[in-house]
A and B are shown apart, each in its own frame.
Chain A
Amino acid sequence: MSYVIEVKNLSVTIKSTKIVDDVSLSVKKGEVFGILGPNGAGKTTTIECIEGIRTNYTGDISVLGFNLLKNRTDLLKKIGIQLQEASYPDRLKVKEICKLYSSFYENPKDFHSLLESIGLHHRVNTHYSKLSGGEKQKLSIILALIPDPEILFLDELTAGLDPRSRREVWDIILKLKKEGITIMTTTHFLEEAEYLCDRICIMNQGKIVYTETMSNIQSLSSKQVVLSSKDEIPQEAFMAIPSVEKVSVEEDVYTIFCQPDIFLKEFNKISSLGKYVITNINVKQATLESIYFEKTGEKNE
């Protein structure tokens, strides 16, 4: 397994506050890796350290085998970066910005074909200030692709876009994913992560609190029955039912990891459970959303 990004014990402290707290992660070649988390979780700070833009960190970061503190410029030749909140001079045309960014690289990709494939070629003579939010984001993707990067970094790519532009941008990223480019992205849109990512981690208060592949998360889904009872039901009672793998109890809510169809069929047959009053029973879609709210401690309303 070859990792193109390896981060070990990354911490960033600003004014005695730990913005990023002992983060370790690795990304495989060709993988789309998403960092999820609420605002202020440290996502942007983490990705900026990995991109080589931020140097006030402790820990080890290796990207494409480069040590960032020594070979920052060499790395920047091989990666494409879209920054949260970055922009370009208002009075420059799309074409001129592309030309400028092409001049920074030895073998830039032809920006005309990028404009074509991303669908911005009709705006080539438009001033940056006249572009819509979606078009600006498309331009930032084009500029990130000009170096023909081995890794593409996307930070809050679709924040502030309307649903249609968001979907368009996602489709562009999906297309790039099919071409086999490695992508690291941050987002607080769970739908975006579900749509694009192969693997995600969830950050909260500077720490990684969860890492899992999307395919595992999806197969975890529909494998839970959630049941409420004021009575105290021993866990063994549930474990006796076929297909039950695990039971977790929180106050009077029992989450049972099982195959719901088998569980529900067998549940009524077990007489020992008959004495308990069940107030509510649900088959739960343990989606990324429920995991997210559980891990970040935010209330799902």
Chain B
Amino acid sequence: MSELIVTQFKVFYRNFINVFFVFVFPVFFIILFGEIYGNDPSSFFNGKGTLDVSTPAYIAMIISVTGIMSFPLTIANYREQKILKRLKATPMNPVNLLVSEILVNVVMTILGVILLFFVASMRYGVEFSGNLKQFILAFLLSIFSTFSIGGVIASISSNVKMANAIANLVYFPMLFLSGATIPIEIMPESIQEFSKFIPLTHAVNLLKKTWLGEGIAWGSSNVIVLIVILIICTAISAFYFKWD
């Protein structure tokens, strides 16, 4: 299993697109918005700075890159290239592959978040003002919920082209309409209303609340939506998954 994990790490970091979207792109956004707006307390964000509010949103952005792009595209590529089929012809338990691929992407997500926070705090003085335990729970729930959506894409796509098309279709609207890149607060009311139907919006809200220390009720709609998505998407993935 350890050799498999090491291998999946190599496959991840040797793919330029993965590295760019997990490490470079979010940092680019924080610097872009940091230079435009700075991080001075604003009444618009209840006395927090723009970046204080944006940082947890960018964390959701990193999660959606690994969960909806990198993870399912790797699996779809493995299926298309018959790499999965070849692995099935060994005594390795095939579930190990999925587990290590998810593990690698989760670890990369965490590293991406650490880099993002490092830049945000060093350059713009962004601080974490929530309860760490609550934030980690929210972070993990967001990860597993988003990865389960990626799991559906990985399962139903017979090739990379199809996985790419679906992933882009899910990823980009999600990214821009959930508040993960552009604060949802500045959007028109109709879009704010629509964004409630986007799963990532709930992850963004949950991450923001726990990051800013607003506290979170575990029975809140954000949590329930993410858990329901996790259950449904995992079931769909398990049902449709094929090795070849």
Interface of A with B (CB < 8 Å)?
Answer: 51, 53, 73-74, 76-77, 81, 83, 85-89, 91-92, 96, 99-105, 147
Interface of B with A (CB < 8 Å)?
Answer: 2-4, 7, 10-11, 14-15, 78, 81-83, 85-86, 88-93
Bound-state Cα–Cα, A92 to B11, Å: 7
**Given A77-B91, A81-B89, A86-B86, 4 additional A-B pairs, CB 8 A:** A76-B91, A102-B3, A103-B2, A103-B3
Bound-state Cα–Cα, A104 to B85, Å: 15
Shortest Cβ gap from A129 to chain B (Å): 11
Contacts of A88 in B (CB 8 A): 81, 83, 86
Report if A89-B92 is in contact (Cβ < 8 Å); known contacts: A100-B4, A100-B7, A103-B3.
no
CB <8 Å contact, B11 and A53 = no
Give 18 pairs: A residue, B residue, CB < 8 Å, sorted on A: A51-B89, A53-B88, A73-B93, A81-B89, A83-B82, A86-B83, A86-B85, A86-B86, A87-B83, A89-B7, A89-B11, A89-B81, A91-B10, A91-B11, A91-B14, A103-B4, A105-B90, A105-B91
CB <8 Å contact, A73 and B89 = no
Contacts of A96 in B (CB 8 A): 7, 10
Interface centre among B11, B85, B90 (most CB of A within 10 A): B90
Shortest Cβ gap from A158 to chain B (Å): 18
Contacts of B82 in A (CB 8 A): 83, 85-87
Contacts of B89 in A (CB 8 A): 51, 53, 76, 81, 83, 86
Q: Which of A73, A87, A92, A102 contacts B91 (CB 8 A)?
A: A73
Closest to A54 in B: B244
Report if A83-B85 is in contact (Cβ < 8 Å); known contacts: A103-B4, A104-B91.
yes
A contacts with B: majority SS: loop
Contacts of A102 in B (CB 8 A): 3
Bound-state Cα–Cα, A73 to B87, Å: 12
Closest to A144 in B: B89
Shortest Cβ gap from A230 to chain B (Å): 55
Bound-state Cα–Cα, A100 to B7, Å: 7
Bound-state Cα–Cα, A77 to B89, Å: 10
Contacts of A89 in B (CB 8 A): 7, 11, 78, 81, 83
Report if A100-B91 is in contact (Cβ < 8 Å); known contacts: A86-B83, A91-B14.
no
Bound-state Cα–Cα, A186 to B86, Å: 17
Contacts of A91 in B (CB 8 A): 10-11, 14-15
Contacts of A87 in B (CB 8 A): 81-83, 86
Q: Which of B2, B88, B90 contacts A101 (CB 8 A)?
A: B90
Closest to B8 in A: A89
Contacts of A147 in B (CB 8 A): 90
Closest to A91 in B: B14
CB <8 Å contact, A104 and B83 = no
Shortest Cβ gap from A200 to chain B (Å): 24
Closest to A74 in B: B91
Contacts of A85 in B (CB 8 A): 82
Closest to A84 in B: B82
Contacts of B91 in A (CB 8 A): 73-74, 76-77, 104-105
Contacts of B4 in A (CB 8 A): 100, 103
Shortest Cβ gap from A61 to chain B (Å): 15
Closest to B90 in A: A104
Contacts of B2 in A (CB 8 A): 103
Bound-state Cα–Cα, A113 to B2, Å: 23
Report if A92-B85 is in contact (Cβ < 8 Å); known contacts: A73-B91, A104-B91, A104-B92.
no
Q: Which of B7, B92, B93 contacts A92 (CB 8 A)?
A: B7
Contacts of B10 in A (CB 8 A): 91-92, 96
Shortest Cβ gap from A81 to chain B (Å): 4
Contacts of A103 in B (CB 8 A): 2-4
Bound-state Cα–Cα, A299 to B14, Å: 50
Contacts of B86 in A (CB 8 A): 83, 86-88
Shortest Cβ gap from B105 to chain A (Å): 15
Contacts of A105 in B (CB 8 A): 90-91
Bound-state Cα–Cα, A89 to B12, Å: 11
Bound-state Cα–Cα, A100 to B93, Å: 14
Shortest Cβ gap from B89 to chain A (Å): 4
Contacts of B78 in A (CB 8 A): 89
Closest to B7 in A: A100
Q: Which of B3, B14, B85, B88 contacts A100 (CB 8 A)?
A: B3
Bound-state Cα–Cα, A76 to B85, Å: 13
Shortest Cβ gap from A133 to chain B (Å): 15
Bound-state Cα–Cα, A53 to B11, Å: 25
Shortest Cβ gap from A56 to chain B (Å): 12
Bound-state Cα–Cα, A92 to B3, Å: 13
Bound-state Cα–Cα, A101 to B91, Å: 10
Bound-state Cα–Cα, A147 to B89, Å: 12
Bound-state Cα–Cα, A81 to B82, Å: 13
Interface centre among A86, A96, A147 (most CB of B within 10 A): A86
Shortest Cβ gap from A190 to chain B (Å): 26
Shortest Cβ gap from B163 to chain A (Å): 16
